[in-house]
A and B are shown apart, each in its own frame.
Chain A
Amino acid sequence: MPEGGIAVGGVLAGTMTSSEPEDPDAALMPRIAEGDASAYRLLVDRHADRLLAFAERLVGDRATAEDVVQDSYLSLWRTAARWSPQAKVRTWLYRIARNAAIDRVRRRKPTVDPETVTLIDPGARPDRAVIDGDIGRAVSAALDALPERQRAAIVMVHYDGLSGADASAAMEVSVEALESLLARGRRALRAALSGQRDDLIGGER
Chain B
Amino acid sequence: MIAKTNTMTDDRVRALIEAYGADSSRWPAEERASALARIAEVDELRVALDGAHALDALLNAVPTPSPSPALRMALKDLPDQPRGSNWFGWLGAFAAPWQPAAGLVAAGVLGLWIGVTQPDFPLPALLDASPTAAEADFEDPFDDAAGSAIGAGTGDLLR
| Chain B residue contacts of A40, Cβ below 8 A | 78-79
Select B19's contact among A136, A140, A182, beta carbons within 8 Å. A182
Between A and B, 22 residue pairs with Cβ closer than 8 Å are A2-B83, A40-B78, A44-B76, A49-B67, A49-B68, A53-B65, A57-B62, A65-B65, A73-B78, A74-B78, A77-B79, A135-B58, A136-B61, A139-B61, A159-B59, A164-B28, A176-B1, A182-B20, A186-B52, A186-B55, A200-B58, A205-B50
Take A48-B75, A139-B62, A179-B15 as given contacts and tell me if A163 and B80 are in contact as well, using a CB distance cutoff of 8 Å. no
Report which B residues bind A (CB closer than 8 A): 1, 15, 18-21, 26, 28-29, 50-59, 61-65, 67-68, 71-72, 74-76, 78-80, 83
Contact across chains for A44 and B75 when beta carbons are under 8 A apart: yes
For A162-205 the 0/1 string (1 means CB < 8 A from B) is 01110000000001101110110011011001000100110011
| Chain A residue contacts of B28, Cβ below 8 A | 163-165, 175
Contact across chains for B51 and A73 when beta carbons are under 8 A apart: no
| Chain A residue contacts of B21, Cβ below 8 A | 158, 186
Contact across chains for B72 and A44 when beta carbons are under 8 A apart: yes
Q: How far is the CA of A135 from the CA of B26 in the complex (A)?
A: 23
Contact across chains for A140 and B62 when beta carbons are under 8 A apart: yes
Q: How far is the CA of A143 from the CA of B63 in the complex (A)?
A: 13
Select A49's contact among B19, B62, B72, beta carbons within 8 Å. B72
Beta-carbon nearest neighbor of A135 in chain B: B61
Contact across chains for B68 and A52 when beta carbons are under 8 A apart: yes
Take A2-B83, A205-B51 as given contacts and tell me if A183 and B65 are in contact as well, using a CB distance cutoff of 8 Å. no
Chain A: interface residue count, which band? 35 or more
A66 within 8 A of B: yes
| Chain A residue contacts of B54, Cβ below 8 A | 197, 201, 204-205
Query: Which DSSP category, helix, strand, loop or mixed, fits chain B's interface?
Result: helix
* B-contacting residues, A45-72, CB 8 Å: 45, 48-49, 52-53, 56-57, 62, 65-66, 69-70
Which of A49, A62, A205 has the most CB atoms of chain B within a 10 A radius of its CB?
A: A49
Q: How far is the CA of A62 from the CA of B19 in the complex (A)?
A: 28
Q: How far is the CA of A40 from the CA of B20 in the complex (A)?
A: 33
Expressed in whole angstroms, the minimum distance between the Cβ of B63 and any Cβ of chain A is 5
* B-contacting residues, A150-166, CB 8 Å: 154, 157-159, 161, 163-165
| Chain B residue contacts of A2, Cβ below 8 A | 83
A11 within 8 A of B: no
Contact across chains for A56 and B65 when beta carbons are under 8 A apart: yes
Seed contacts A183-B18, A190-B51; 8 additional CB < 8 Å A-B pairs? A49-B67, A136-B62, A154-B59, A159-B59, A164-B19, A165-B28, A182-B20, A183-B19
| Chain B residue contacts of A44, Cβ below 8 A | 72, 75-76
Q: How far is the CA of A143 from the CA of B61 in the complex (A)?
A: 12
Expressed in whole angstroms, the minimum distance between the Cβ of A137 and any Cβ of chain B is 8
| Chain B residue contacts of A66, Cβ below 8 A | 68, 71
Contact across chains for A189 and B83 when beta carbons are under 8 A apart: no
| Chain A residue contacts of B79, Cβ below 8 A | 35, 37, 40-41, 77
| Chain B residue contacts of A159, Cβ below 8 A | 59, 62, 64
